[in-house]
């Protein structure tokens, strides 16, 4: 088995309702905890991006949520505090850099 074979794990898919109550499909890119905190965070990207759009900027959009697991239930919370958002963004970028360094 090569290194490439091991990287193809089944993606984790979650469904998040939009403001109209329609469930949108997202792939979980990463889950992590921030040092010094017991909060858990996940980064997700939308899966059903309209492929007819010429503008690729939206397809690179990553969303961050704080989450809690309650048995099989997953509760997502938007990050509205700027200080918390900066901490999550910094941790995410650090983890991405570590992944890139290992490739």
pLDDT, tens digit, 9 for 90 and up, residues 80-94: 999 999 999 999 899
Under the banding of pLDDT at 50, 70 and 90, the label for residue 54 is very low
Give the total number of structural domains in the chain.
1
Alpha helices in the chain (DSSP H): 3-6, 82-102
Q: Which domain holds residue 48?
A: 9-102
- Whether the per-residue pLDDT at 3 is higher than 50: the answer is no
Give the whole-angstrom CA distance, residue 51 versus residue 53: 5
Percent of the chain at pLDDT > 90 equals 39
Let me know if residue 1 belongs to a domain: no
Whether residue 85 is contained in a domain is answered as yes
């Amino acid at each position: 088995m090569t290194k490439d074979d091991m990287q193809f794990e089944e993606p984790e898919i979650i469904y998040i309702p939009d403001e109209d109550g329609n469930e949108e499909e997202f792939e979980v890119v990463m889950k992590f905890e921030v040092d010094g905190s017991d909060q858990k965070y996940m980064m997700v990207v939308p899966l059903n991006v309209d492929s007819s759009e010429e503008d690729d900027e939206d397809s690179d959009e990553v969303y961050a949520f704080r989450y809690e697991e309650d048995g099989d239930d997953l509760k997502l919370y938007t990050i509205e505090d700027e200080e918390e958002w900066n901490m999550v963004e910094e941790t995410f970028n650090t983890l991405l850099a570590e992944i890139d360094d290992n490739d």
